[in-house]
């Protein structure tokens, strides 16, 4: 998998997690633990995207 396609897949996952979090928050019987887990996963995806971007920038220099 190329770096660009991997980043695109991570961005897709990040958006999907954000949508799922919004959906959960719109319901009155929200499970706080589920929200925390989704936010943790979203942060992990964001961190991975940033790591890949930094590695890519380092390869260019």
Task: Find the angle CA(42)-CA(48)-CA(49) to the nearest 5 degrees.
Answer: 90
Cα 10 from Cα 34, distance rounded (Å): 20
Provide the residue range defining the domain that includes 53: 3-60
Q: Closest Cα to residue 23, out of 34, 13, 9?
A: 34
Q: What is the pLDDT of residue 57?
A: 84
Per-residue pLDDT for the chain (61 aa), expressed as one digit of tens each? 688 899 999 999 999 999 999 999 998 888 899 999 999 999 999 999 999 999 888 876 6
Task: Give the pLDDT score at 61.
Answer: 63
- Residue 26 near residue 61, CB atoms below 8 Å: no
Predicted local confidence at residue 5, as pLDDT: 93
Q: What's the pTM?
A: 0.84
Structure tokens given for 19: 């949508």
Would you state the pLDDT for residue 3?
87
Q: What is the tally of helices (H) and strands (E) in the chain?
A: 2, 0
Number of domains, the chain: 1
């Amino acid at each position: 998998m190329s770096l660009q396609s991997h980043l695109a897949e991570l961005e897709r996952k990040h958006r999907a997690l954000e949508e799922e979090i919004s959906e959960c928050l719109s319901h009155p019987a929200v499970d706080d633990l589920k929200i925390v887990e989704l936010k943790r996963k979203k942060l992990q995806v964001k961190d991975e995207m940033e790591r890949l971007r930094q590695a890519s920038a380092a390869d260019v220099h």
